[in-house]
Structure 1
Amino acid sequence: MNVHFIAIGGSAMHNLALALQQKGYNISGSDDEIFEPSKSRLAARGLLPEMFGWFPDKITSGLDAVVLGMHAKADNPELIKAQELGLKIYSYPEFLYEQSKSKTRVVIGGSHGKTTITSMILHVMHYHDKDVDYMVGAQLEGFDVMVKLTDHNDFMVLEGDEYLSSPIDRRPKFHLYKPNIALLSGIAWDHINVFPTYENYVEQFKIFIDSIVSGGSITYNEEDLEVKRVVEASENTIRKLPYQTPAYTVENGQTFLETPEGPLPIEVFGAHNLNNLAGAKWICQHMGIDEDDFYEAISTFKGASKRLEKIAESKSSVAYKDFAHSPSKVEATTKAVKAQYPERALFACLELHTYSSLNAEFLKEYKGALDAADTGVVFYSPHAVEIKKLEKVSEHQIADAFQREDLIIYTNPTDFKEFLFAQNFDNKTLLLMSSGNYGGLDFNEIKGLLN
């Protein structure tokens, strides 16, 4: 097959392009800008476009399919040419479904935890040499690519994102996968630029549950009351299998999972990650991994990239970075780190970086999110607010939203870095939460902060 990618440089898109090339397809692509690591990875496989930009002459009747990325616009000249020629145009999730129609599709959905749960499942499968197709939203230890597609594997494990499919397909991605086996980890309002009301956002998860094939199953976190309500109200003819956070203990910075064979030391920590682990265990059992084999494998799981990733440690201090940015994730991550190191003061920094987090109306959702930290710091860039064409957000609005009188707020990257590097982190835990980089912070420099 000859497949062309419009906006090939995206994190998901370039991984799909690499996976299809590995499968023997002829791949071409375009983009107006491509950043690392996509740029180097495409170049290494001969797929990096010779010139950046959009070139309608790349679109010919000889193409079997065009895959359209979210980075492109509806008036993209290559897209218009493909429409004029009547070519088959797929969104990223549509193409993944086409590739997995004959397989058992396992889809992990939820506002939070889906990357970690998907990663846990793939780690366990890899540990036991069980080959599966997959798509996951983070780079995993032991995996070369984030997308794998074959003609022979029985299972396809998909991280089910609720964000939109393409510029011309406004359906959430996870509506298109039609799972045989599904999981729902949590529902907490996000992506308000697309789902302007809480009710509208929750409706997307109802549609997801109803998209599960008849006779399939939904494994769901019954501790999340919205998840429990939505799943149990569904009239879809599927099995409904609840899970909850397992028993565990923390001793001297080490988490032990309670198992039938006794306490098991594990690498990940925090109630939210133990809850994720419980969901992953049930899905792995649906896929043929027994409980003992799951425990053996999961004890070696170190976490998904950017999810509570340890970036520095000394005898008396430790530093983590985390992708957390939505209110529920920030609160869960902050509580988890404090619980893991209760004897140390927690210095938690949050960058407000996404469309939702920089929206004045949405800010109130962050109330109490940093309460578990001994020191709470918020950084945001007024320039990022301008780029996203949002109303200006004031420091007063942020302070009022978090409801924390001692909250420290920075808007200048240089000032924030100087403040951070002036701190004494002896007997402290540093937590850096962001989907960005605090205006240019080099995380490798953090090692020099710890004693």
Structure 2
Amino acid sequence: MKTHFIAIGGSAMHNLAIALKDKGYQVTGSDDAIFEPSKSRLEKKGILPEEMGWFPEKITPDIDAIILGMHAHQDNPELARAKELGLKIYSYPEFLYEQSKNKTRVVIAGSHGKTTITSMILHVLSFHEKDVDFMVGAQLEGFDCMVKLTQDNDFMVLEGDEYLSSPIDLRSKFLLYQPNIALMSGIAWDHINVFKTFDDYIEQFRKFVASITPGGVLVYNEEDPEVVKVVEGAENYFRKIPYRTPEYEISNGKVYLKTEMGDIPLSVFGAHNLLNMEGARHICQQLGIMDGDFYDAIMSFKGASKRLEKVEREDKGTLYKDFAHAPSKVKATVKAFQEQFKNEKKYGFLELHTYSSLNPVFLEQYNHAMDGLDEAVVFYSEDALKIKRMEPISPELIKEKFKNEALKVFTNAEELHAYWETLDKTKGVYLMMSSGNFGGLDLTK
């Protein structure tokens, strides 16, 4: 099969391209910019474009599938040529469905926790040498690629994102998967640039539940009232399996899960991670993994990349980085950090740089998000606001919306870096929350 990727360099797109190359497909692609690690990984597989840019002449009638990434625009010249030739154009999730339509599809959805839950499931399955196809949104320890596609596997585990599918398909990605088994971890308004109201956002999850195949299974977080409302309002037939935070204790800095089989020592911390683990356990049950086997495997799970991931520093200081940027994720991560390090001085840094997080209306959602930290810092770039053509935001407004007058607010990277240099990282513990990089801050030094 001959495939061509328009915008091959994206985090998700380049992993799919590599998976198809590994499957034996003929793969080509284009992009106007490709960064690391995508660049090196594509080059290693022999599918890195020779030059950057869009080349309509690459689009030929013998191509079986065009896969269109979100980075491309509607007026992309390669896309125009593909339409002109009448080629089949797929979004990323649409193509994944095509690859898995004859398999049992397991889809993990929710505003938060979905990457971690998917990672936990894959860790347990790998531990017990149970082979499945998958797509996950983070690089996992022990896995070469974030996407795996085979001819023979019976199951495919998919992280279900509610964001848009492609520039020409404005459906939420997870609406294309039609799960046989699904999980919903929580609902908290996100992607305000696309879903203008909370109800618009919730509607995507209503549609997701409606897309579960007849007689399927939904594992859901019964501690989240919005999730419960969506599940109770569903009119289609599926089996409902609720889950909640299990009992646990922290002893000498170690988290122990309380089970009928005794106390299980864990390598991760935080109530939200324990809740995620419980959801993963129920999904694994549906895949034939019994509880004892689940606990045997989960003890060695150290977390998904950038999800409360410990950074090895040259000075041996204690620092964790986390992808948290949406309000619900920030609050859960800060709470976990407080609980784990009760007796330490706690520093928390948050970078705001998404369209939602820089929207004055959405900023209301961050109220008290950084409370409980001994030193709390928020960083956003005034230059980023200009690039996004957004109105300026004052540090005073940030403090007001966060309801935290003690908050330190930095609006340029140089000042943030200068403050960082004044801190002794060997004293206290540090939590760095961002889907960016704090203006190039090196967290290892």
Into which bin does the TM-score normalised by the smaller protein fall? over 0.9
Residue 143 of structure 1 aligns with an amino acid whose one-letter code is F
SS of the residue corresponding to residue 105 of structure 1 reads: strand
Residue 189 of structure 1 aligns with an amino acid whose one-letter code is W
Q: 1:180-329, aligned counterparts within 5 Å?
A: 180-312=180-312, 318-329=318-329
SS of the residue corresponding to residue 292 of structure 1 reads: helix
Distance 2:316 2:92 in 1: 46
Deviations 1:132-160 (A, max 9, x none): 00000000000000000001000000000
SS of the residue corresponding to residue 420 of structure 2 reads: helix
Structure 1 residue 424 displacement after superposition: 3.0
Q: 1:264-413, aligned counterparts within 5 Å?
A: 264-312=264-312, 318-413=318-413
Counterpart for residue 92 of structure 2:
92
Counterpart for residue 170 of structure 1:
170
Distance 1:354 1:270 in 2: 25
Distance 2:56 2:147 in 1: 27
Counterpart for residue 449 of structure 1:
none
Are 1:209 and 1:234, in contact at CA under 8 Å, matched by a contact in 2? Answer: yes
Please tell me the root mean square deviation across aligned C-alpha atoms, in Å.
Answer: 1.2
Structure 1 residue 429 displacement after superposition: 1.1
Distance 2:424 2:142 in 1: 36
Structure 1 residue 341 displacement after superposition: 1.0
2:9 matches 1:9: yes
Distance 2:425 2:315 in 1: 11
SS of the residue corresponding to residue 183 of structure 1 reads: strand
Deviations 1:138-184 (A, max 9, x none): 00000000000001000000000000000000000000000000000
Are 1:252 and 1:341, in contact at CA under 8 Å, matched by a contact in 2? Answer: no
- TM-score by length of structure 2 reads 0.99
Structure 1 residue 312 displacement after superposition: 3.6
Residue 214 of structure 2 aligns with an amino acid whose one-letter code is S
Structure 1 residue 411 displacement after superposition: 1.0
Structure 1 residue 108 displacement after superposition: 0.1
Distance 2:339 2:8 in 1: 42
Deviations 1:197-249 (A, max 9, x none): 00100000000000000000110000001001111111110011100000000
Q: 1:72-87, aligned counterparts within 5 Å?
A: 72-87=72-87
Distance 2:313 2:352 in 1: 25
Deviations 1:31-63 (A, max 9, x none): 000000000000001100001000000001000
2:33 matches 1:27: no
Are 2:347 and 2:376, in contact at CA under 8 Å, matched by a contact in 1? Answer: yes
Q: 1:410-421, aligned counterparts within 5 Å?
A: 410-421=410-421
Flag structure 2 segments of 5+ consecutive residues without an equivalent: none
Q: 1:134-149, aligned counterparts within 5 Å?
A: 134-149=134-149
Are 1:107 and 1:181, in contact at CA under 8 Å, matched by a contact in 2? Answer: yes
Structure 1 residue 314 displacement after superposition: 9.6
Q: 1:58-69, aligned counterparts within 5 Å?
A: 58-69=58-69
Distance 1:7 1:382 in 2: 28
Q: Which moved more, 1:379-388 or 1:120-129?
A: 379-388
SS of the residue corresponding to residue 444 of structure 1 reads: coil
Residue 33 of structure 1 aligns with an amino acid whose one-letter code is A
Deviations 1:268-292 (A, max 9, x none): 1101000000000000000000000
Are 1:31 and 1:53, in contact at CA under 8 Å, matched by a contact in 2? Answer: yes
Distance 2:173 2:308 in 1: 25
Q: Report sequence identity in percent.
A: 62
Structure 1 residue 315 displacement after superposition: 10
Distance 2:129 2:430 in 1: 37
Structure 1 residue 397 displacement after superposition: 1.0
Change (3 A) 1:59 1:255: same
Are 2:190 and 2:326, in contact at CA under 8 Å, matched by a contact in 1? Answer: yes
Residue 23 of structure 2 aligns with an amino acid whose one-letter code is K
2:164 matches 1:150: no
Flag structure 1 segments of 5+ consecutive residues without an equivalent: 446-451
Are 2:97 and 2:177, in contact at CA under 8 Å, matched by a contact in 1? Answer: yes
Residue 198 of structure 2 aligns with an amino acid whose one-letter code is Y
Q: Which moved more, 1:370-379 or 1:73-82?
A: 370-379
Are 1:69 and 1:91, in contact at CA under 8 Å, matched by a contact in 2? Answer: yes
Change (3 A) 1:315 1:12: closer
Distance 2:386 2:160 in 1: 30
- TM-score by length of structure 1 reads 0.97
Distance 1:227 1:313 in 2: 39
Q: 1:118-129, aligned counterparts within 5 Å?
A: 118-129=118-129
Deviations 1:66-95 (A, max 9, x none): 000000000000000000000000000000
Are 2:271 and 2:336, in contact at CA under 8 Å, matched by a contact in 1? Answer: yes
Are 2:318 and 2:426, in contact at CA under 8 Å, matched by a contact in 1? Answer: no
Structure 1 residue 372 displacement after superposition: 2.2
Change (3 A) 1:333 1:196: same
Deviations 1:299-350 (A, max 9, x none): 0000000100001479995110100000010010011011011001111000
Q: 1:28-43, aligned counterparts within 5 Å?
A: 28-43=28-43
Structure 1 residue 388 displacement after superposition: 1.4
Distance 1:385 1:353 in 2: 8
SS of the residue corresponding to residue 443 of structure 1 reads: coil
Q: 1:43-62, aligned counterparts within 5 Å?
A: 43-62=43-62
Residue 144 of structure 1 aligns with an amino acid whose one-letter code is D
Change (3 A) 1:313 1:79: closer
Distance 1:353 1:340 in 2: 27
Distance 1:87 1:78 in 2: 11
Structure 1 residue 252 displacement after superposition: 2.1
Residue 142 of structure 1 aligns with an amino acid whose one-letter code is G
Structure 1 residue 191 displacement after superposition: 0.1
Residue 238 of structure 2 aligns with an amino acid whose one-letter code is I
SS of the residue corresponding to residue 257 of structure 2 reads: strand
Are 2:161 and 2:173, in contact at CA under 8 Å, matched by a contact in 1? Answer: yes
Distance 1:251 1:89 in 2: 54
Q: Which moved more, 1:421-430 or 1:270-279?
A: 421-430
Are 2:347 and 2:375, in contact at CA under 8 Å, matched by a contact in 1? Answer: yes
Are 2:315 and 2:425, in contact at CA under 8 Å, matched by a contact in 1? Answer: no
Change (3 A) 1:111 1:262: same
Structure 1 residue 260 displacement after superposition: 1.2
